[in-house]
Amino acid sequence: MTALDQVLSRIDADLDNSLERLFAFLRIPSISTDPAHAGDCRAAAAHLAADLRSLGIEATLSETAGHPVVLGHSGGGDKGRVLFYGHYDVQPVDPLDLWATPPFEPRIATLPDGRKAIVARGACDDKGQVMTFVEACRAYVAVTGKLPLPITLLIEGEEECGSKSLPAWIEANRGSLAANLALVCDTGMWDPKTPAITTALRGLLYEEVEITAADRDLHSGLFGGPARNPIRVLTKILGGLHDDDGRITIPGFYDGITDPPAEVLAGWRSLDLTPENFLKPVGLSEPAGERGRALIEQLFSRPACDINGIWGGYTGAGSKTVIPSKAFAKVSFRLVAGQDPDTIRQAFRAYVRAKLPTDCSARFEDHTGAPAVAVPWDLPQLAAARTALTAEWGRDALLVGSGASIPIVADFKRLIGMDTLLIGFGLDDDRIHSPNEKYDLVSFHRGIRSWARILHALAE
């Protein structure tokens, strides 16, 4: 029996205890956005740090401007160190009356199709996922007396309220965070049987634009015709952001973008992410992105522009014949590797300004900007982790993209120069952020086993 086999056996045998430890963690209502729960957040952090110390990991609470970070360091060794990231905070629980049982009283439920699941706020996001990694470490320590490779853990407490304190904290603590690779457990499987590694995350640039024409609101009867209407100007400019092929018309917007390897693209296209599966459930039928790109490319590897909000003039009931002084919009861009947020921001602003007619001015507000992140397709640890996941689940682990942004991953790359593997065991029906959040018992159990295999593979 190899050491890995012994570790996996130990995990199987200890599952009830692993669950009990997860339940203890879940019972702490660490809702980070609610100041009334600040004490609970600190308690959850302390609970986790104590648990890590029981594994021989030197773990402390590191203060931030907000809730503390749990920072853990295992002993050295000559293997490449990995940094594991997760978060101990959870989402609020309202509406409370939609929960079948109290959100901080975890239990095992049997789903209608027979699956067993852990039900509680944080069961999946992210306490359950964090504990898959911690329990894998525990099994290693129990069986071999030590971890298979040096590990740093960074478990933050503000992910659910924007991770506001984290970038400054990382900047201040980059020396303690040095590692060869980051591992994040906050994503999902492709489906209940197919594991996945998220290798590409789109970046985000979010701008607010305000167009001003006259210096006051005007009556459209007395002024309509000769008076410049800022809503008309705004619709003309924003209505021109896409051409008839769905491509964004800002000069230089697509510069620097490359396609994923043909093998990866072919893999994506063979997946069941079809309009029927992805769009029909929300009442749509046809991909609205760039013509000639498969839906999954539009989502994983192509940039996009959305108007997230627009307002101006009279928006109440009935009619008001006003020509407003100002009109506003919130416009965001999902970026892919090769696109720099600052460059795109300047290009967007220049595009708007170039289209302003006489008597109009534009003011911009920068809401956020984060570059896309892409794991190099030829990263050796990517192949190792993929093989390990495939061995555990009996199915090829998929390399997928994500339309959404996870800013921490960009920070790891930018500030520490580390690549990140995003591996998680959540499922689409986990109801994270909603009442009756759950985490499949299989996700938890095989998640622990998956990490044991991945740590083993990375230590080779």
CA dist 388 → 129, 194, 396, 452, 458 (Å): 17, 13, 10, 9, 9
CA distance 458 to 194: 21
Query: What token pair was written down for 284?
Result: 């749509």
CB of 309 to its own copies, least distance (A): 4
Distance CA 385, CA 397 (A): 9
| Closer CB to its own copies, 328 or 451, in the complex | 328
Q: Copy the structure tokens of residue 291.
A: 């013509």
- Interface residues for its own copies in 401-440 (CB under 8 A)? 402-405
Q: Which residue's structure tokens are 């938890």?
A: 444
Which residue, chain included where needed, has tokens 């906050």?
186
Q: Look-up: residue for tokens 């396609």?
A: 259
Torsion (CA) 425, 428, 430, 434 in degrees, nearest 10: 130
**Residue among 59 and 124 whose Cβ is closer to its own copies:** 124
Among 302, 326, 445, 456, binds its own copies (CB under 8 A): 302
Q: Does 269 bind its own copies (CB under 8 A)?
A: no
Q: How far apart are CA 163 and CA 293, in angstroms?
A: 34
CA nearest neighbour of 234 among 211, 264, 266, 218: 211
CB nearer its own copies, residue 41 or residue 211: 211
Give yes or no for residue 354 binding its own copies (CB under 8 A): no
Binding to its own copies by residue 243, rule CB under 8 A?
no
CB neighbour class for 1 (10 Å; exposed up to 12, middle 13-18, buried from 19): exposed
Find the shortest distance in angstroms from Cβ 124 to its own copies.
Answer: 16
**Residue 317 CB, nearest distance to its own copies (Å)?**
10
Site for its own copies in 356-385 (CB under 8 A): 357-359, 367-368
Of the candidate residues 175, 221, 292, 394, the single one contacting its own copies (CB under 8 A)? 221
**202 forms part of the interface with its own copies (CB under 8 A):** yes
Nearer to its own copies, 112 or 239 (CB): 239
Sole binder of its own copies in the list 96, 108, 284, 383 (CB under 8 A): 284
Half-sphere exposure of 169 (CA within 13 A, CB side): 21
Tell me which of 227, 257, 271, 362 binds its own copies, using CB under 8 A.
227
Q: In this complex, which beta carbon is closest to its own copies, that of residue 87 or of residue 456?
A: 87
CB of 434 to its own copies, least distance (A): 13
Q: Contact between 251 and its own copies (CB under 8 A)?
A: no
Residue 286 lies near its own copies (rule: CB under 8 A) = yes
Task: Note whether 339 binds its own copies by CB under 8 A.
Answer: no
